[in-house]
Amino acid sequence: DTEVTQTPKHLVMGMTNKKSLKCEQHMGHRAMYWYKQKAKKPPELMFVYSYEKLSINESVPSRFSPECPNSSLLNLHLHALQPEDSALYLCASSPRGVAGVTDTQYFGPGTRLTVL
Amino acid sequence: GNSVTQMEGPVTLSEEAFLTINCTYTATGYPSLFWYVQYPGEGLQLLLKATKADDKGSNKGFEATYRKETTSFHLEKGSVQVSDSAVYFCALSEKTGANNLFFGTGTRLTVIP
């Protein structure tokens, strides 16, 4: 089973709200990723967690705060977002997440976020 | 640096037509190559992959061959169906660093009956 689940499917929030996106996988994968995808564009990497430690932060603004409570869960906490942050937020996981070893990323269905 | 170049879309084909979506790459090492598909309103699904030169990835009638000499990984299908309508992303991942995926810009395919 190569399933990554994401909740909620859709989210509408105001610029002063605080909300969280959730991602879960039960494949025993040790790396998890957050991507942002704008319309008609490829996904852009935001964060990478490897063995529950943040290993990559692609200069993402601090209004996005990732959290990896355990190896199966990945959260993205949102606060004081801007309308231009509206996008599809994709979570992915991969088995190993270790440099030097080919890994395959499996994506969830995404959360479509609208910031008003 | 690493980059992926895909043919510009959109591509419109009739059902049962032959499909080719071109993909070329630039990499500093020996990357793994992937094709992902994104159906309307959904996330990305892994379609196929190849991890070394001359490998052929295949799935659901799609195939692509890792050509090191031409740095290419073109996607082909002999007979497309309406259900193949989607956006296709070519991507690479280096083995020598973190497992970042470098995506092409995506090619939108529409298959008409």
Q: What is the pLDDT of residues A77-106, one digit of tens each?
A: 999 999 999 999 999 999 876 666 678 899
pLDDT at B103: 94
| Interchain proximity A48–B105, CB inside 8 Å | no
pLDDT in the model for residue B29: 78
The pLDDT value given to residue A98: 67
Average pLDDT, chain B: 93
- Our CA-based measurement puts residue A101 at a distance from the nearest CA of chain B, in whole angstroms, of 5
Count of A-B CB contacts under 8 Å: 66
d(CA A12, CA A112): 8
pLDDT of residue A59: 86
Give the per-residue pLDDT at A50.
87
CA of A98: how far to CAs of A45, A50, B38, B72, in Å? 17, 7, 26, 26
Report the pLDDT value the prediction gives residue B41, as an integer from 0 to 100.
85
Structure tokens at B87: 């956006």
- What is the residue whose two structure tokens read 């992303």? B89
pLDDT, residue B12, reads 97
Touching check for A113 and chain B: CB below 8 Å? no
- Inspect the interface and report whether the beta carbons of A102 and B93 lie closer than 8 Å: yes
Chain B residues within 8 A of A59 when measuring between CB atoms: none
Per residue in B58-113, pLDDT (tens digit) is: 999 999 999 999 999 999 999 999 999 999 999 998 865 556 789 999 999 999 99
Across the interface, which of A42, A103, A107 has its CB nearest the CB of B99? A103
Burial of A98 (0-12, 13-18, 19+ CB in 10 A): middle
The answer to whether B77 touches B18, Cβ cutoff 8 Å, is yes
